[in-house]
């Protein structure tokens, strides 16, 4: 269920309250248990008068038996209530946090690719783990304890007012004085907590980068350098934590000092009442016990306020993501793209990152089944060119049309269902080979998975693995070679069987032997599909139907391999540079 759509930042805390209220039955049971717990505390304080006046002073045996059974009954009731309260409140808290964590992850997945390029992986991980955990602590522990303490305070306040309302005024006058600095300190904790959470995000980002780049760090002998960088970030986090500790540590002493003044006033005033015969010893000690028990939950509330402030700071950071609107979404009245072979047209299309144009005035039509190769120097806009087709980004002016329909007028899901993609970076998941091949087709049969692996020239190496198709391949396919990973990506694209195929330098990271096998697999993949190929090695795209030369964001040449070589333009120059370099290497 989507709880967090269409609200402004000032409604965030209200949404948390609504989530809590969605579990009103469990919450009601838990609050009933809290009432029993608080009532038991107040009852024990109330019985002090009877214990002193009736049992120890009057030596009433009947009252001794009665009080004994009452204490046992109260203790048993309290124990059962504590158990039930802990279960139901934690159930509510965990349910809320699971909903919140799922909503956050779902929102992150729905956001556009540009969001992931701006945000760091470690920071996003921190939002889902650290920040949500702080909210969990606020909801499951702090709010629960706060409600229980408030009930206890109400019960004990009733006892002290019943025993001596004048003395109660003396005892309670320090409460507002104590809470003013606690509120001020809580605001400080919240501010510092935001810095702490940001620092944790920075640390997670650093860890993610250095663990993923462990091979490069060791190859360049930069272990000590990275250690020093980590020590600096760790020290920054330590300083934030200590600032938070200072602010939190002041709360308890403030409450203790104010409570000390209150208890001293009660002892002085109440002692005089007993000495002057205006009050009994039992009444005074019952009152004093209730006051001392009363200041304990007040002190705990001051500590809980710090945890609540940390949780509220985390709520702000989590809802910053939840409230984001994806840059790419279905337009009103968007239709589903029909299942058939497709013509892809770029009509005077321009795309810019901010103010900087990357592609300018692109006009191009790819007929159904045609293979279009994109070549040019690095940074010319080739990858952006094909990333616009599945709407990873939105065009700035002009349009991209499939079968004459603007891709902004079809649903994103149907558009991407008609596209398969193989990139230079072989992105796989730490699941079985079977699951990775079937990633784009959840309804794939076992026979179709095997057929796709054979067409991608992957079947032989898969069967040589200990568990065959059930082999788990490690994080990002770390247990496989580059060529093996790329062939699994091709098998995945084959199994999706989409009519539009995007190949982004799918062989550039491979050695010559692996490239030949992968190229054969790609030829199987391209058959009958409208294909856009970005090629680093020009030898791999010589048989393309058309070669498009992109330079500085514009199409400068277009034609077949032979025609472009005869023309002697930019393509011929690139071809000469590349093959001259290869001949020089061969001579060496």
For the stretch 34-57, pLDDT in tens is 888 777 777 766 666 666 666 556
Q: Does any domain span residue 254?
A: yes
Q: Does any domain span residue 380?
A: no
Q: Is 22 helix (H, G, I), strand (E, B) or coil?
A: coil
Q: Does any domain span residue 558?
A: no
pLDDT value of residue 272: 63
The pairing of strands 405-406 and 419-423 is unpaired
Q: Does any domain span residue 156?
A: yes
pLDDT value of residue 2: 41
What's the pTM value of the predicted model, to 2 decimals?
0.68
The low-confidence residues of the chain, meaning pLDDT below 70, are 1-13, 44-64, 67, 140, 143-144, 164, 167-191, 193, 197, 212-216, 218-220, 247-292, 294-295, 298-299, 302-303, 306, 507-515, 579-588
Q: Does any domain span residue 192?
A: yes
318 and 442 belong to one structural domain: no
Domain boundary among 322, 343, 369: 322
pLDDT value of residue 273: 65
437 and 314 belong to one structural domain: no
Residue 19 CA to residue 414 CA, distance in Å, equals 33
User: DSSP character for 470?
Assistant: G
Q: Does any domain span residue 552?
A: no
Does residue 501 come out as left (phi exceeding 0), alpha (psi in the -120 to 50 range) or beta?
A: beta
For the stretch 224-238, pLDDT in tens is 888 888 888 888 878
CATH of the domain at 247: 1.20.1560.10
Contacts of 267 (CB under 8 A, 6+ apart): 288
Query: Measured between alpha carbons, how far is residue 209 from residues 123, 195, 266, 412, 474 in Å?
Result: 12, 21, 61, 31, 18
430 and 311 belong to one structural domain: no
Q: How many domains does the chain have?
A: 2
CB 361 within 8 A of CB 350: yes
Query: Measured between alpha carbons, how far is residue 56 from residues 49, 59, 75, 290, 574 in Å?
Result: 10, 5, 22, 19, 105
The pairing of strands 419-423 and 500-504 is parallel
Residue 580 CA to residue 574 CA, distance in Å, equals 10
pLDDT value of residue 409: 92
Q: Which domain holds residue 59?
A: 9-322
- Tokens 């009152």 locate to 287
pLDDT value of residue 356: 80
Q: Does any domain span residue 394?
A: no
Domain boundary among 281, 303, 322: 322
Which of these, 36, 146, 155, 37, lies nearest to 93 by C-alpha position? 146
Which of these, 244, 247, 259, 246, lies nearest to 299 by C-alpha position? 259
295 and 442 belong to one structural domain: no
């Amino acid at each position: 269920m989507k709880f967090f759509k269409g609200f402004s930042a000032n409604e965030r805390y209200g949404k948390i309250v609504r989530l809590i209220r969605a579990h009103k039955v469990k919450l009601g049971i838990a609050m009933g248990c809290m009432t029993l717990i608080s009532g038991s505390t107040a009852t024990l304080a109330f019985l002090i008068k009877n214990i002193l006046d009736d049992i120890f002073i009057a030596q009433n045996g009947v009252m001794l038996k009665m009080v004994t059974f009452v204490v046992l009954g109260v203790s048993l009731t309290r124990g059962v209530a504590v158990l039930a309260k802990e279960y139901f409140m934690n159930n509510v808290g965990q349910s809320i946090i699971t909903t919140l964590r799922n909503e956050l992850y779902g929102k992150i997945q729905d956001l556009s690719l540009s969001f992931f390029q701006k945000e760091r992986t470690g920071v996003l991980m921190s939002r889902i783990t650290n920040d949500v955990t702080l909210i969990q602590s606020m909801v499951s522990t702090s709010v629960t304890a706060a409600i229980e303490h408030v009930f206890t305070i109400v019960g004990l306040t009733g006892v002290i007012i019943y025993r001596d309302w004048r003395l109660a005024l003396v005892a309670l006058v320090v409460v507002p004085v104590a809470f003013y600095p606690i509120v001020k300190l809580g605001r400080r904790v919240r501010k510092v907590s935001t810095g702490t959470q940001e620092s944790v995000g920075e640390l997670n980002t650093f860890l993610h980068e250095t663990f993923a780049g462990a091979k490069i760090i060791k190859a360049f002998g930069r272990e000590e350098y990275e250690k020093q960088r980590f020590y600096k970030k760790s020290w920054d986090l330590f300083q934030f934590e200590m600032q938070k500790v200072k602010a939190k540590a002041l709360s308890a002493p403030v409450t203790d000092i104010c409570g000390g003044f209150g208890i001293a006033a009660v002892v002085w005033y109440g002692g005089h009442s007993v000495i002057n015969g205006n009050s009994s010893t039992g009444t005074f000690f019952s009152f004093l016990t209730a006051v001392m028990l009363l200041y304990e939950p007040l002190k705990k509330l001051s500590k809980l306020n710090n945890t609540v402030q940390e949780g509220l700071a985390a709520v702000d950071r989590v809802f910053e993501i939840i409230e984001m609107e994806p840059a790419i979404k279905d337009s009103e009245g968007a239709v589903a793209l029909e299942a058939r072979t497709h013509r892809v047209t770029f009509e005077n299309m321009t795309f810019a990152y901010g103010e900087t144009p990357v592609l300018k005035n692109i006009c191009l039509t790819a007929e159904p089944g045609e293979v279009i190769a994109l070549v040019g120097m690095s940074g010319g806009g080739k990858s952006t060119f094909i990333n616009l087709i599945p709407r990873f980004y939105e065009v700035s002016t002009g349009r991209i049309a499939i079968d004459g329909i603007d891709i902004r007028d079809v649903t994103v899901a149907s558009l991407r269902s008609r596209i398969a993609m193989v990139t230079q970076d072989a992105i796989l998941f730490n699941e079985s080979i079977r699951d990775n091949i079937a990633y784009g087709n959840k309804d794939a049969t076992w026979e179709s998975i095997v057929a796709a692996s054979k067409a991608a020239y992957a079947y032989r190496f898969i069967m040589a693995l200990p568990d065959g198709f059930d082999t788990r391949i490690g994080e990002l396919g770390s247990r496989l070679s580059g060529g093996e990973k790329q062939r699994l990506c091709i098998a995945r694209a084959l199994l999706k069987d989409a009519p539009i195929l995007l190949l982004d330098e799918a062989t550039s990271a491979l050695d010559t032997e692996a490239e030949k096998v992968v190229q054969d697999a790609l030829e199987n993949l391209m058959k009958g599909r409208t294909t856009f190929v970005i090629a680093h090695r020009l030898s791999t795209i010589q048989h393309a139907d058309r070669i498009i030369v992109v330079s500085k964001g514009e199409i400068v040449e277009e034609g077949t391999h032979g025609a472009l070589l005869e023309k002697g333009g930019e393509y011929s120059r690139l071809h000469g540079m590349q093959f001259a370099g290869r001949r020089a290497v061969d001579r060496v």
